[in-house]
Copies of this chain bind each other. A is one copy, B any other.
Amino acid sequence: MNKGILIVVSAPSGCGKGTILAEILKDERFYYSVSATTRAARPGEIDGINYHFLKKDQFEELIREDGVLEYAEYCGNYYGTPKEKVFEKINEGRNVILEIEVQGAMQIKEKYPEAVFVFVAPPSVSELKNRLEKRGTETAEVIARRVSEAAQEISYADRYDYVVVNAELDEAIADFKAVVRAEELKSENSRKIIDEVLKNA
| Chain A contact surface mostly | helix
Asked if B198 contacts A185 (CB within 8 A), the reply is: no
A160-201 vs B: 1/0 string, CB under 8 Å?
111111000000001101110111011110110110111111
Number of interface residues of A (CB under 8 A): 43
Does A155 lie at the interface of the complex (its beta carbon under 8 Å from any beta carbon of B)? yes
- Establish whether residues A165 and B193, one from each chain, have CB atoms under 8 Å apart when the complex forms: yes
How many copies of the polypeptide does the oligomer hold? 2
A182 neighbours in B (Cβ, 8 Å): 162, 178-179, 181-183
Report the 3 A-B pairs with minimum CB-CB distance, sorted nearest first.
Answer: A182-B182, A151-B201, A125-B201
Which residue numbers of A lie inside 8 Å of B, CB to CB? 119, 121-126, 147, 150-151, 154-155, 157-165, 174-175, 177-179, 181-183, 185-188, 190-191, 193-194, 196-201
Q: Pull 9 A–B residue pairs with CB atoms less than 8 Å apart, ordered by A.
A: A124-B196, A151-B201, A157-B194, A161-B187, A175-B185, A178-B182, A178-B185, A179-B185, A182-B183
